[in-house]
Structure 1
Amino acid sequence: MKRSILLAGILGTLLGTLPLQSLETGTSIGLGVVSFSEEKTGETISYQLLALRPHLTAGKFSLGLNLEIHYRFTGGDGQDFEIREEDWNPRGEMNVLELYLPKIDYLRYGQKGDSLFLSLGSFSDATLGNGFIMESYSNQLFRPERPLFGALFDLDALAVGLPYGGIETVVANTAAWDVIAGRLFIRPLGGMNLPLLSRLQVGGTLAVDRDPYYHVQKQESPQNPFADKSTPDPVIIWGVDTRIPLVEAERLRLAVFGDVVNQDDRLGGMVGTGGVLRAGPLGILYGGQLRLYEDNFIPTYFDSSYDRRRVERFRVYDGDRDVKGTLGWLARLGFSSAQEGLRFVTTMSGPFEDGTGVGPDLQSTLTIAEGAFPGFPGLSFSGTYQTFDLAKPADILEAEDTLLGIRLNIRSGPVVISLVTDLRHDPLAEGDPWTITSGLETTIAF
């Protein structure tokens, strides 16, 4: 109750600042076909989609709803028409808040990077500090079957004219408050007239997973051997970090940074550098890290695939699976166009030595915004490919231990046609470890 009162208080304060004269409203209707993995049997079933998505914007405030009905024609025995009950009727371990809060697709005030920023709903890129504890965390990995309603809240002292620090917070699911994280940072030289040193940051981060078995206890298929186990002790991770910008020029940005992190009395540290090099119309994105960590320490514990690999991570954290401490590395390379219309980034990380019990991980993302390609003004695309524990280079092309997500949009006037595909492999699943969902949708905006 206290948590709900706190969120309502923040929201009420922001609503009181709305410039109602700038209110803009709109609605879109979605029609399509979506496939789901049936919870009890694991069978893939296709449903028709009818969605109503009203939205409004007033100044920095924006609100969008996502009201979907999935139905299918079954035929025979008088059962000709069926609505997917899981969308509107709480079943099994699902409670009312978990089911109905995600009908609010987003509720935002400001943008990431503003002095005051609040976002409620789904998100895909939550990062705290340098990312050695949490980087690109997403609460969207179980959509469309189980969307989550999370919260991001950032407050920089610059909002009140003070350049000395701020806070960043993440809540993965406000209906469960399972994954919670926050970072407090200061700019010790913020009041000095020093172009770069005044932006020096020193921060402290605390991240907690109160229920590592949360998602496997919610799903019925694929079965997970840990689904029936009692809730274990929480994961508690904390650390300190610093970041120093060295170059902030038109064609070159360069920063150095470092972290020291504690995971259940196991230590890990990192020093790194990264930035952007402008070369004509493109920006070259680069970064590298050296990592040193003790046995069973996991760098970037809360990463972009965390909710799908939550039990695997906890087995290492809890000591059920042994991973040898060692010296590790991370390399990142990519490019983006001047207006971020085209962006590609590949990140690879792992240990320098073999025999640690874990192999390198690879993640690649590609984003194409509308208008990025001349001649195809209505085309947009987003895709992510992740593969884990690579034993040899050829494993990059193997489907096991992978997550793949693709969304292709084609716009013509107010009409958008979208093709969505997600492929997931669960190495701990009992039975079929594959989950594949796909959909084809036409959206008409008014």
Structure 2
Amino acid sequence: MPRRLGLLLLMILLATLPLSAESEGDFVMPPEQSQPPVEPDAQTSSYSTTEGSWPIAGTESSTGLLEGMATSDGFFALSYMPDFSIGKFTFQFDVKIKGSYETEPFGLALDFSDWEAPARDEGESLGDYTIDVFKHYSRFIRTIQYGERYDSLYVRFGKLLGITLGDGALVNGYFDRSVSVRSSRPGLELMVDAMLLGIPNAGFEFITNDVFKPTLTAWRIFSRPLGGYPEYESVAALQIGLSFAQSPASPDEQEGQLLGRKLVALDISLPVITWNWFNADFFTDFIAQTPDREESQPAFAYRYGLWGHTKSFFIFNASVTVPFFGRYYAEYFSSDFENRSAEDLDELVIEEGTTRLDAMFGLNFVREGVYLRAKMVSNYSDGDYHDYRFLANARIDKRLFNIVSLDLSYEKLYPTTTGERFLEGLQTLKNVILSASAVVKVKPYSFDLGLSILFDEQAHATYTLDTAVRISIL
């Protein structure tokens, strides 16, 4: 009884916290997260780059969302998540306060250990200590962004969403699915026009899904070597680029993930449409992949097609890929590459003599945190098109109406045995996979939903549903 009374008093205390008229407060007690109070030293290790950071939730425009947790054991935690913009900067933070309370007599103790800088080890260099401090405080950052993609300077710190590097030879429409929709990750995306550094007709792109412990790092440099010669107007905009992507070797890699691969691409592109708001280029790529653990030889392929984009809202590419040596994997760095099985990886192989055709387009509503992508794939060999696939994905990373966050995907497969054609197959649910992870808020509840539906060749469905209900007190 005293513990229940103490918990009730704590709820009343939280309810009296001042919030603006547009803000919301959530007192949340998810059953899977209930835990006893722990020592401050143990609490500070709650951030993990491999397991994801503290849970997050979206916000309404320029407001904050207060979310909390408490247990009858005496532990409580509050999280305030503001979302605001200053000029070209946009910010999403996740500010944490935790503590404990006692009931006999009633008392409240706040724990600010997460706010204190970590101790510097004896002999630790200033550079290493600076990285430790930045890593420690980055747990409060969901995203920080400056500018928009394809600006002369664009920087984003946070979870990677909808990333395409150059024409998409190595990274094409990548979403970081290594952590849940409620979690963030310290990724980095950078685009720089080299003119800012005094180098004309050149640029640089860089991405990593985790600046502290990356499993994907990629970059691209490009130049327009004839850009300074106006007499060659027809080819002055010719662009030559070099791209590199790797998954660093991991000592605890699981069977089938094959982390540690390196990919290199040389691309040449020539603009066919150059407007103020839209660009489209014809491109050719030469791609090399290092061998996997079962092979002793690298793999090579060439790729050509069209790609283009508006400033940041729309991006597309359509290509033909032809492997000509070794065991070549298409889309090695897809969104789920960290969680693939050996069987999943085998399905990515394009055999010699087979041509792969694909098209991707994406819509990015960056300010609203909404990212949409669709992709169509087919193989061609022996005079016939086969192995069609259609994939669509919707990602919401900020509060939109009652949806706090969402990752929704649709995948349509076309096994050779069915004989379905592309448009015909889209009208059925045969061989369809639907999956969704979402946080939906309907006062006084919020729901963590995980849904997977598998339709077989006769469109018979198999369901998997996971839910967690959070009760909003405020």
TM-score w.r.t. length of structure 2: 0.56
Q: Equivalent of 1:304, from 335, 338, 342?
A: 335
Larger radius of gyration: 2
Q: CA RMSD in A?
A: 5.4
The one-letter code matched in structure 2 to 1:151 is L
For 1:51-130, list aligned pairs within 5 A: 51-55=79-83, 57-67=85-95, 101-130=138-167
Name the counterpart of 1:4.
Answer: none
Shift of 1:154: 2.2
Comparing 108-117 with 166-175, greater Cα deviation is found at 108-117
Shift of 1:165: 1.0
Question: CA 1:167–1:28 in structure 2 vs 1: closer, same or farther (change >3 Å)?
Answer: farther
Q: Equivalent of 1:206, from 219, 244, 249?
A: 244
Residues of 2 paired with 1:205 and 1:366: CA distance? Answer: 27
Shift of 1:390: 3.9
Q: Gaps spanning 5+ residues in structure 2: where?
A: 1-21, 35-66, 70-77, 99-113, 115-131, 291-297, 455-461
Question: CA 1:285–1:299 in structure 2 vs 1: closer, same or farther (change >3 Å)?
Answer: same
The one-letter code matched in structure 2 to 1:149 is P
Secondary structure of 1:191's aligned partner: coil
Name the counterpart of 1:136.
Answer: 173
Name the counterpart of 2:43.
Answer: none
- Say if 2:211 is the partner of 1:174: yes
Question: CA 1:251–1:150 in structure 2 vs 1: closer, same or farther (change >3 Å)?
Answer: closer
- Per-residue CA shift, 1:275-300, capped at 9, x if unaligned? 589xxxxx998753211114531222
The one-letter code matched in structure 2 to 1:385 is S
Question: CA 1:248–1:166 in structure 2 vs 1: closer, same or farther (change >3 Å)?
Answer: closer
Contact persistence 2:284–2:302 (CA under 8 A): yes
Question: CA 1:101–1:350 in structure 2 vs 1: closer, same or farther (change >3 Å)?
Answer: farther
- Say if 2:225 is the partner of 1:188: yes
Shift of 1:331: 3.2
Residues of 2 paired with 1:314 and 1:102: CA distance? Answer: 33
Q: Equivalent of 2:306, from 273, 276, 280?
A: 273
The one-letter code matched in structure 2 to 1:204 is L
Residues of 1 paired with 2:351 and 2:33: CA distance? Answer: 36
Secondary structure of 2:212's aligned partner: coil
Shift of 1:135: 1.2
Shift of 1:175: 2.7
Question: CA 1:368–1:118 in structure 2 vs 1: closer, same or farther (change >3 Å)?
Answer: closer
Shift of 1:209: 0.6
Name the counterpart of 2:377.
Answer: 349
Shift of 1:349: 1.0
Q: Equivalent of 2:392, from 341, 347, 364?
A: 364
- Per-residue CA shift, 1:239-268, capped at 9, x if unaligned? 111222212358985421121111121012
Contact persistence 1:138–1:304 (CA under 8 A): yes
Secondary structure of 2:189's aligned partner: strand
The one-letter code matched in structure 1 to 2:288 is N
Comparing 110-119 with 125-134, greater Cα deviation is found at 110-119
Name the counterpart of 1:76.
Answer: none
Residues of 1 paired with 2:149 and 2:332: CA distance? Answer: 22
Comparing 112-121 with 342-351, greater Cα deviation is found at 342-351
Residues of 2 paired with 1:416 and 1:164: CA distance? Answer: 56
Residues of 1 paired with 2:143 and 2:363: CA distance? Answer: 29
- Say if 2:289 is the partner of 1:289: no
Shift of 1:305: 3.3
Q: Equivalent of 2:271, from 245, 259, 262?
A: 245
Question: CA 1:378–1:34 in structure 2 vs 1: closer, same or farther (change >3 Å)?
Answer: same
Residues of 2 paired with 1:111 and 1:234: CA distance? Answer: 31
Secondary structure of 2:329's aligned partner: coil
The one-letter code matched in structure 1 to 2:92 is G
- Per-residue CA shift, 1:287-346, capped at 9, x if unaligned? 5321111453122221233334376566679xxxx7523211113468999x99999653
Residues of 2 paired with 1:323 and 1:120: CA distance? Answer: 35
Residues of 2 paired with 1:191 and 1:255: CA distance? Answer: 19
Shift of 1:105: 0.3
Shift of 1:150: 1.1
Residues of 2 paired with 1:424 and 1:211: CA distance? Answer: 31
The one-letter code matched in structure 2 to 1:347 is K
Residues of 1 paired with 2:217 and 2:363: CA distance? Answer: 32
Secondary structure of 2:322's aligned partner: strand
Secondary structure of 1:241's aligned partner: strand
The count of aligned residue pairs is 349
- Per-residue CA shift, 1:379-435, capped at 9, x if unaligned? 88976424376414569736776644567789xxxx999876444699xxxxxx998
The one-letter code matched in structure 2 to 1:387 is E
Question: CA 1:439–1:135 in structure 2 vs 1: closer, same or farther (change >3 Å)?
Answer: farther
Residues of 1 paired with 2:146 and 2:316: CA distance? Answer: 31
- Say if 2:292 is the partner of 1:260: no
Residues of 2 paired with 1:240 and 1:58: CA distance? Answer: 38
- Per-residue CA shift, 1:67-109, capped at 9, x if unaligned? 4799xxxxxxxxxxxxxxxx9xxxxxxx999997444101233
- Say if 2:424 is the partner of 1:397: no
Shift of 1:172: 1.0
Contact persistence 1:330–1:350 (CA under 8 A): yes
Residues of 1 paired with 2:371 and 2:80: CA distance? Answer: 31
Residues of 2 paired with 1:249 and 1:169: CA distance? Answer: 25
Question: CA 1:238–1:98 in structure 2 vs 1: closer, same or farther (change >3 Å)?
Answer: same
- Per-residue CA shift, 1:345-399, capped at 9, x if unaligned? 5311132249x9x9443221458999xxxxxx96889764243764145697367
Contact persistence 2:185–2:209 (CA under 8 A): yes
Residues of 1 paired with 2:397 and 2:182: CA distance? Answer: 26
Contact persistence 2:181–2:397 (CA under 8 A): no
TM-score w.r.t. length of structure 1: 0.59
Question: CA 1:292–1:140 in structure 2 vs 1: closer, same or farther (change >3 Å)?
Answer: same
The one-letter code matched in structure 2 to 1:273 is L
Residues of 2 paired with 1:436 and 1:103: CA distance? Answer: 31
Name the counterpart of 1:83.
Answer: none
